[in-house]
Structure 1
Amino acid sequence: MCRNIRPLNNFEPPATADEVYAAALQYVRKVAGTTKPSQANQEAFERAVAEVAHTTRHLLADLVSAAPKKDRATEAAKAKARTAVRYGTPA
């Protein structure tokens, strides 16, 4: 999985349309092997992003979990602490 794609399931509040779009964009970029498609491929690239985002929204709506919802601020703080340990920077 691309490192820039973040888990979107089981958060309170739920993932926004922008977060879903960003994840879809990162996925299509990874699969296509490019961050900016040529003009000849622009339409196919944009269509793929839209379709992946659409499917992702359906997936998130259909998933069920018995686990309690995660808090975005708490998860962000945990990620920041992991980064500090990994790179030796102050949290």
Structure 2
Amino acid sequence: MAGNPRNGRRYRTLCAWLRAQHLPCWLCGREIGYELDARHPLSFTLDHLVPLSRGGQLLDPANARAAHRRCNSSRGNRARPSPTVAPQRASRRW
């Protein structure tokens, strides 16, 4: 395979398909600025549910998610962060 697969037609088609859906960010749940410049932190990027470094498939639509550039970058190759759960208080003072 020559060149960067993220510049190929199949990858660009997958990005266009995901972009056309105008979904919110799958990590934070907020709206994505689809009209923003690609370098803007709140612009659209294609994120992979299973990171590529952990065996995820680059061109699998089931592995593709819409995300903010900032959310995608901060996640790195970790699994999706779990929602913060407030610690449980003891029923009485110990």
TM-score, normalised to structure 2, is 0.21
Larger Rg: 2
Ranked by relative contact order (alpha carbons within 8 Å, sequence separation 6 or more), the top structure is: 1
TM-score (norm 1): 0.22
Comparing both structures, which one devotes a greater share of its residues to strand?
2
